[in-house]
Amino acid sequence: MPTSGGGFEQAYNAQAAVDTNSMLIVAPAVTPACNDREQVKPMLNQLTQLPAALGKIEHLLTDNGFYSAANAATCEAHGIEPLMAVGHESHHPGPFERFTEPPALPDNASPAQRMAHKLKSQAGRKLYALRK
């Protein structure tokens, strides 16, 4: 993997899908690829292979390193609602941001627009907080 000072170092990128109710790791992965955006599809493929007894995967909560419009669309294609941060947000939003709902989306909103809208809603912020 590339290092911050230039050059390369033998390193790996680990991913873990965690059930937010039990806090158990349900799907681990290790890759030499340094870009997290490339890890959404392989993880979704791994998650869809889990036994049905574990329940249906409803949401994918990730930081902004995993975000792309294509990844949001891929999640929806798998029947999973994506909640990927689309950028760095303030740790202390003002009261109007915290306690109001965003304006309604148009009917033709893209998966990425629907996801960003959900993250601004109170329900979306509550769900996304489970990632922490």
d(Cα 27, Cα 43) in Å, to the nearest integer?
7
Closest Cα to residue 17, out of 51, 49, 54, 44?
A: 44
Q: What is the pLDDT of residues 35-63, one digit of tens each?
A: 899 999 999 999 989 999 888 899 999 98
Query: Please, what is the average pLDDT of the chain?
Result: 88
What is the domain partition of the chain in residue ranges?
36-131
Judged by DSSP in three states, 19 sits in coil
pLDDT at 29 over 70: yes
Q: What is the pLDDT of residues 99-132, one digit of tens each?
A: 788 889 888 998 889 888 988 888 988 888 888 7
Cβ-contact 70, 52 below 8 angstroms:
no
Radius of gyration of the CA atoms of the chain, in A: 16
